[in-house]
């Protein structure tokens, strides 16, 4: 009969193997837990960066109220948790389509990361946008609802677009638009030399309808003049009136220059204290003396009298009180060398506070590569 094998000590070996296996399992669990924790924290930081990038687009759209003159345009915003760099680039700039792309890079500098040496969590989001500017119907560079008398051949009444910035210049418009002489005589109510008129057509004013409060010329002006006069259709930035119950004062030169294109409202007649830019609304008669200039849109209830070498770039409409049932004298801007010229850029800038951004549908991307 054979002797059983001596198995003393085998249990110790098995126990040691089990301990090693348990240690490996525990180590693996710790490694896996650490990896999952790192991934979770990195993912959370990326989500926060994504939120910052989206917030940057909102901030840019809220802060920038017109297409910048120079593109690309970049703005940096410091936000809770980090910063955002937003860049606006042109995709298509034309007279009929202003499509751009916003590239927003969110940097989550305050993200809780597993490793202090981890790179800052960033996320780049893009959004196609389109600028929809407010518009105004300008029949001509200079439109008068009460006829026009030109003294002498000096100066220029031009419908040629003076804007040289893309997408302009736009096609030329008439230099002067007026009502016809009467309901039976449909020739333009323009007296004086036509050589100062340029645009489309050149050397001629155009008739936009019959004259007077009962005529059709007023129907070509799509402006709520009654609402503007009541300051309900258009809220003025500055209000100029010297009598009570409501009073105001003429804005400063700084308020009428640079990137400021305000709406300046004058109740009654005024002799323009200084040049400026934006939308100028005068419910009565406007007088410009010396070398006073204006860039933008000029809306006058009565007539514009220009005594000197005045310049207006943008668009002018006078005689607007015809729209509210009042007769207005014939527009007679006076003598001197004057330049009244259509400028689509200055018109757009004057209307920029009333434009808006439109986000194009299905046109947002996430994790846009930046090189």
Q: What is the pLDDT of residue 137?
A: 85
Cα(305)–Cα(124) distance, rounded to whole angstroms? 55
Sequence-distant (≥ 6) Cβ neighbours of residue 10 within 8 angstroms: none
Global model pTM greater than 0.85: no
Report residue 47 as tokens: 């989500």
At 126 the pLDDT is: 95
Pick out the chain residues at pLDDT < 50: 244-245, 371
User: Largest Cα–Cα distance in the chain?
Assistant: 144
Spans of all domains in the chain: 37-133+355-366, 142-354
How far apart are the C-alpha atoms of 174 and 155, rounded to whole Å?
A: 16
Q: Tell me how far apart the terminal alpha carbons of the chain are, to the nearest angstrom.
A: 85
Strands laid side by side in the 270-271 sheet: 270-271, 286-290, 304-308
- The helix, strand and coil proportions of the chain, stated in percent and rounded to the nearest 5, come to 20, 30, 45
In the 8-state DSSP scheme, what is residue 353? G
What's residue 295's pLDDT? 97
What was the pLDDT predicted at 47?
85
Q: Give the per-residue pLDDT at 245.
A: 47
Burial code (b: 16+ CB inside 10 Å, e: under 16) for 215-225 equals bebbeebebeb
- For CA atoms 179, 182, 186, 191, the dihedral sign is negative
Angle (nearest 5°) at CA 320 between 319 and 324: 125
Q: Cite the beta strand spans of 66-195 per DSSP E.
A: 73-79, 82-93, 98-108, 121-132, 142-144, 148-149, 156-158, 176-178, 190-191
């Amino acid at each position: 009969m054979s002797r059983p094998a001596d198995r003393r000590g085998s249990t110790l070996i098995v126990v040691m193997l089990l301990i090693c296996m348990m240690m490996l399992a525990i180590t693996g669990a710790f490694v896996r837990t650490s990896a999952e924790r790192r991934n979770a924290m990195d993912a959370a930081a990326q989500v926060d960066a994504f939120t910052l990038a989206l917030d940057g687009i909102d901030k840019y759209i809220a802060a920038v109220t017109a297409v910048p003159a120079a593109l690309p345009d970049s703005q940096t915003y410091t936000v809770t948790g980090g910063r955002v760099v937003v860049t606006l680039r042109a995709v298509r700039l034309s007279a009929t389509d202003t499509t751009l792309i916003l590239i927003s890079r969110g940097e989550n500098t305050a993200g809780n990361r597993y490793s202090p040496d981890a790179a800052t969590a960033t996320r780049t989001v893009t959004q196609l946008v389109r600028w929809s500017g407010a518009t105004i119907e300008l029949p001509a560079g200079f439109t008068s609802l009460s006829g026009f008398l030109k003294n002498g051949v000096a100066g220029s009444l031009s419908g040629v677009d003076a804007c040289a910035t893309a997408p302009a210049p736009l096609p030329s418009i008439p230099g002067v638009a007026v009502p016809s002489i009467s309901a039976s005589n449909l020739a333009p109510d323009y007296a004086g030399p036509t050589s100062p008129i340029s645009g489309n057509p050149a050397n001629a004013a155009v008739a936009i309808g019959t004259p007077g409060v009962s005529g059709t010329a007023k129907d070509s002006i799509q402006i709520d003049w009654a609402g503007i006069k009541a300051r309900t259709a258009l809220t003025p930035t500055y209000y100029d009136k010297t009598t009570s119950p409501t009073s105001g004062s003429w804005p400063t030169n700084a308020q009428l220059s640079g990137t400021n294109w305000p709406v300046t409202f004058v109740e009654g007649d005024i002799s323009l204290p200084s040049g400026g830019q934006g939308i100028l609304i005068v419910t009565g008669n406007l007088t410009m003396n010396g070398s006073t200039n204006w860039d933008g849109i000029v809306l006058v209830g009565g007539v514009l009298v220009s005594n000197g070498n005045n310049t207006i770039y943008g668009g002018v409409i006078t005689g607007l009180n015809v729209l509210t049932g009042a007769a207005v004298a014939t527009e007679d801007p006076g003598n001197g060398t004057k330049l009244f010229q259509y400028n689509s850029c200055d018109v757009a800038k004057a209307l920029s506070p009333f434009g808006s951004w439109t986000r194009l549908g299905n046109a947002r991307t996430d994790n846009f590569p930046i090189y």
